[in-house]
Chain A
Amino acid sequence: MMETAGKLFSPKSLMVLILIIAAFTIPFFVTSRFLLHIMILCCIWAMAATSMNLIMGYTGQVNLAHGAFFGIGAYSAGLLILKLGIPFWPALLLACAITVVLGFLIGLLALRTKGSYFAIGTMCFNVIVTVIIDSWEGLTEGARGLLGIPRPPPIPLPFGKEITFTSVAANYYLILVSLLLTILVIYRIVHSMMGRSFMAVRGNEELAESLGMNAMKAKLLSFLISTFFAAWAGVLYATYIGFLSPEISDYHVTFELLTFCLIGGLGTMVGPLIGAFILTIISELLHGIAVPRMVAYGFVLIIIMIFLRGGLMGGARLLWLRFGGKGGR
């Protein structure tokens, strides 16, 4: 009992609590729609990166098709809402389900390969998905794009009030809650037996198999969970921005998510979050400097990779140890 209480009030969970409270109260003292909008984008990318981290960081499979699932989720929701008139909440679940089913088919095929073969194979799937979205105009409107995706409808509350999603702040809360749910679920998975099986596969697949584990099943499960949350993030993007074009599933999106994970720190819960937030902010800050913006961004990436092994979280760990903190997490 005391132990649980100790864990509950440990410095780490206190910090997390403070962060969560801060995240919820931000719209009260940051009224700038511009900054809230950036926070929203950061949260969406953080969701997508966190889910990618499950298959990549914790299960050790370099999945380069993640952007495709983000896009499939986004398009599924957009099409369900616009063409079939399905309301937002069921459309969200359906879109995630559709993506998971497609993920299952792709995963079944792709996970037979390993290492670099898996990486490039999934990248090919990503390209193929983007081409399909672009060419199947009858379904997706192709390169013209899917426009006019509405925000979620108001949620009725007691006493005749309701939560509407027209303001930026309201959308921020929706997306923040989604992000926190994603983090919670993935955190629980990582710290469960399932998570241990994922990490066993990451460590040494053959060894894990020889110990009686079904590596394929573990990889597939991890793959599917990651596509579920990628799709969710995609749906949130679709309804927030309101417009979709095939580029949203492009392999460049995948690479960007990969960058967030690595810069933040692969295989840590916080890494993808930090990566998504800090890189998005850096990208914004680099506007209007003397050197071409993307060139500077490229330098930032290289410098972080070379000087902060293990990404920003790795660097943080070093700092922590350097300043006399106790080792271990």
Chain B
Amino acid sequence: MKKGIGLYLVVALASFLTLFASGDVGPAMGEVINVGYTGPLSGGAAKYGQNNLDGLKMAVDEINEAGGISVAGKAHTFKVIALDDRYRPADAVTNARRFVELHKPPFIFCPHSGGILGMLKFNEPEGFILHGYTDNPAILQQGNKWLVKAPMSMGFYNFGIMEIGWKKGWRKGALLCGSHEAGKMGEKIFELLWKEMGGEIVANAPADYSKVTDFYPYLTKVLATKPDAIFLYGPSEPSAMVISTARELGFKGGFMLGSQCKLDEMEKVAPLTLLTPSIGVCPVGMMPLPMMQEYSKRHGQKVGTIPTSESAFNYEVMYIFAEAMKKAGTVKDLDKIMAAIPSVLPVGKHAIRGIHSMTKEGQFLSGYFAMEIVSGKFAPPINVDPGPWYKKYGATWIPK
């Protein structure tokens, strides 16, 4: 048994040492700036994780193809190092510490609040700026000076949809939201805001969109209360199935689709005639902004899929970081880079999501479009003015 343990110790030690040498480029040496990404690239959230990464990679590739950036007279290119963290906070922390140890990135991107919060514990002593892609405003309340966050609050993204639904005369709403974190938040927001407007919630049937095999039991329950419209909050394709199933069951009312639904992805699963009438967030690929249209085309060519909010925001944030470095004249002084960020907004022709300013906690502000599906077609996007929302709720409100 001794020899066995001895053997394993040797193997373990050797493995530890090879962790240092495992296949990546060494620390940034002045020409190549490393950018870390840790997110779910396997398991249930893999698509979400991949979408985030796609945008980041596109930005880095484009910047490099254009010759990189010139900071204080020196040319620099970027390199993305991406690791899977299985959506686990502990793994995200491990990946971040690996980045810091081996690659010294000034920027790390992470799309889940668990990982973000884990990293906020040591990004200041270890020296990196974190882009936390999440709608959870709690990350901004940790008092961290090197944190930015692109997505706005879910309340903001969903209120415009409800206003449009209200204008259409819908009054009795039923909730059929996902039981995941975002789904529960969506449910609360729908209920709160709908009732504030004077509407009624006649049924509530949360469903685990990833686990449910058949939506008949849920819809049967909901449709028995004869709602005017159903609020859905879940991933695109299952939401489309819910709608398609509801039509089977004879439902003729409308749908208000939470911000997680990407209408263009839904179209692949259920024809627009079934999705009529519904209101959702305008998919980024359909935003009537020339810069976004260009991005959408390039995204289709390079990545092979239609772009999403996840890829668009991370793309823009990477450009913001790059521009801030140029403006600050340094690739190492993170305080200077952070301070330079507000002055580079919006980032010219790469401001595809239109980030125009940043709050002092690091929240990037931008707008969005809502979109209706009417008579079997996508209606023209409706610009949602964030003004009234900010005035009332602020950019980071979530219901309790």
Contacts and interface: CB of A to CB of B under 8 A. Distances in A.
Interface of A: 11-12, 15, 32-35, 37-38, 41, 134, 137, 142-145, 147-148, 237, 241-243, 245, 247, 270, 274, 277-278, 281-282, 284-285, 287-289, 292-294, 312-313, 315-317, 319-320, 323, 325, 329
A277 B12 CA distance: 8
Nearest 8 pairs of A and B residues by beta carbon: A316-B4, A143-B181, A34-B101, A34-B97, A243-B117, A288-B23, A37-B97, A281-B15
B84 interface: yes
Given A33-B100, A243-B89, A284 B3 contact: no
Nearest to B136: A144
B311 interface: no
Nearest to B41: A293
Contacts of A288: 22-24, 83
B118 A241 contact: yes
A281 B12 contact: yes
A142 B7 CA distance: 45
A287 B22 contact: yes
Given A32-B101, A316-B7, A320-B4, 18 more contacts: A35-B101, A38-B19, A41-B90, A137-B184, A142-B181, A147-B113, A147-B117, A242-B118, A245-B114, A277-B12, A278-B8, A281-B15, A284-B98, A288-B83, A294-B42, A319-B3, A319-B7, A325-B1
Contact of B1 (A241, A282, A317): A317
10 contacts: A34-B97, A35-B19, A41-B94, A145-B114, A241-B118, A285-B19, A292-B42, A293-B42, A315-B4, A320-B4
A329 B1 contact: yes
Contacts of B101: 32-35
Interface in B82-136: 83-84, 87-90, 93-94, 97-98, 100-102, 113-114, 117-118, 121-122, 126, 136
A142 B1 CA distance: 46
Nearest to B117: A243
B76 interface: no
Given A145-B113, A243-B118, A37 B15 contact: no
Interface string B1-33: 111110110011001101100111000000000
B138 interface: yes
